[in-house]
Structure 1
């Protein structure tokens, strides 16, 4: 791929596509959008969290937008019972914290995606996080948003250790983890154990069960955008600013 010839054009999606999104942003400095795939937009209407993607991608340099945690999320997929809104949002959303405080605020530049696939960029020319920080965002700290499709808690723990040892969490302001249907205990090792251990190691704010990934709906996160994150009492707010 001729990276220097890529047009300044939006690429948006999640899951496997997020490995392309992150590689493009890290390598070229171009912003990319982690949000609903095209197939998730085929209903007669969209929920408010999903539907804001077009407004996010219409922002110009210097403009900002604020997105909020969803009221409800979809517990499981039900393709046999289509509805005017693609998602069946029935379960109350609750953003959870691993921290000593009841609320957290995190500021930095967004990077992330589906941990199942973006971890494979480590050690390649397309996963140079420090180079991206120095070259494109003046050394500003990173806010990592990560979501999990198929990894159990032990596999995810190993992946996070690899990311840490590769320096991806150096100069990091905090971590956000999406809801996952596969965070089941392995030999009593739970997602709470995983996130608590990571918090003790990194001493960084950690928010989980956010609106991101395979358990919809999901906020549109723009790789490279400056963000201000607020979370507490089960709610969350994401303000993104398109800094040139």
Structure 2
């Protein structure tokens, strides 16, 4: 069975950097995030790794892993939210004390999704793919982002419904700070390969494909074992987002996932909006989605609220989900069973 953590009022947030830390000139972003969360009643327990960044990582792998392990086993910390993702989180996996972890939420995306997926696959503890800590520094959040608190406060056995956003952010504009971190200007439209209504259900797994693909063939990416051990061979719904891959790189990665059996018993594929997906020789991401639909014979939905083009829905790895997409709008119901 999946083990679901529970976010409670006044929870203590552990802030650590299992991937990238924050450079000196950006420390104000951390302070603003702390202030915003403390105003909502949370307390902050910050580690040392968040304050440093050198050679594409916050600290050597063993230091990052030890700090994360300490927070995961510290009864005074209720939830862990890294500042953001990065590049080299995979280095810490061999140093994680997974067998000692008790259920507590870990929330984030980008490179953090490697950690989220590894934890859920290897322990059965649900993890949360959603906002980073830095993106919570505003005076208020949009409704899609803000619901992370309600999702993580959902009790085991209960359910929560999220809806596609009204608008999304086309590009980052750090020179124009506003009370809400994101500048949402473009109309959101969830799309399907068949241009018809899609309904699907299954257990959620996913993350940033740039990095989670590297779990294939390692002890941390045994999807088949997870399916047998924790979810009674229920089907999957994979949510995937591409940060920087070209279309040919994306296609290779998806074929590798398929050949590794990650899409066995998959009922639906969900793809987030992306600034990547650079076409190669007129080979577009829409071509990839069509090929997947023809090969796997399952619904393929794309341009959903997930990943590096905010805002994003909070997807829970391991949760049972019911997905409905029609006329550009999406509904995601997650059941903590």
Instruction: Tell me, yes or no, if structure 1 residue 109 matches structure 2 residue 220.
Output: no
Per the alignment, residue 226 of structure 1 pairs with 320
CA distance, structure 2, for counterparts of residue 208 and residue 166 of structure 1: 22
Matches within 5 A, 1:149-188: 149-188=243-282
CA distance, structure 2, for counterparts of residue 43 and residue 231 of structure 1: 30
How big is each residue's C-alpha offset from its partner over 1:164-205, in whole Å with a ceiling of 9 and x where there is no partner?
A: 000000010110000001123211001111110111111110
Offset at 1:222? Answer: 0.2
Per the alignment, residue 17 of structure 1 pairs with 112
Instruction: Tell me, yes or no, if structure 1 residue 70 matches structure 2 residue 127.
Output: no
Q: Secondary structure at 1:126's aligned position in 2?
A: helix
CA distance, structure 2, for counterparts of residue 4 and residue 55 of structure 1: 28
Q: Secondary structure at 1:15's aligned position in 2?
A: coil
How big is each residue's C-alpha offset from its partner over 1:146-171, in whole Å with a ceiling of 9 and x where there is no partner?
A: 00111011100000000000000001
Q: 1:203 aligns with which of 297, 303, 306?
A: 297
Q: Secondary structure at 1:236's aligned position in 2?
A: strand
Instruction: Tell me, yes or no, if structure 1 residue 39 matches structure 2 residue 134.
Output: yes
CA distance, structure 1, for counterparts of residue 251 and residue 331 of structure 2: 27
Q: Secondary structure at 1:23's aligned position in 2?
A: helix
Offset at 1:232? Answer: 1.4
Instruction: Report which of the two has the higher share of strand.
Output: 1
Larger radius of gyration between Structure 1 and Structure 2? 2
Per the alignment, residue 96 of structure 1 pairs with 191
Give aligned pairs, total: 242
Q: Secondary structure at 2:131's aligned position in 1?
A: coil
CA distance, structure 2, for counterparts of residue 161 and residue 176 of structure 1: 16
CA distance, structure 1, for counterparts of residue 254 and residue 170 of structure 2: 25
How big is each residue's C-alpha offset from its partner over 1:99-124, in whole Å with a ceiling of 9 and x where there is no partner?
A: 3x610101000000000000000000
Instruction: Tell me, yes or no, if structure 1 residue 237 matches structure 2 residue 331.
Output: yes
Per the alignment, residue 150 of structure 2 pairs with 55
Matches within 5 A, 1:120-159: 120-159=214-253
Instruction: Tell me, yes or no, if structure 1 residue 79 matches structure 2 residue 174.
Output: yes
How big is each residue's C-alpha offset from its partner over 1:57-87, in whole Å with a ceiling of 9 and x where there is no partner?
A: 0011111010000000000011111100000
Q: Secondary structure at 1:107's aligned position in 2?
A: strand
TM-score of the two chains, using structure 1 as the length reference: 0.98
CA distance, structure 2, for counterparts of residue 156 and residue 184 of structure 1: 10
The list of structure 1 runs, each at least 4 consecutive aligned residues, that deviate by more than 3 angstroms after superposition, is none
What runs of 5+ residues in structure 2 fail to find an aligned partner? 1-95
Q: 2:245–2:278: 8 Å Cα contact kept in structure 1?
A: no
CA distance, structure 2, for counterparts of residue 102 and residue 149 of structure 1: 27
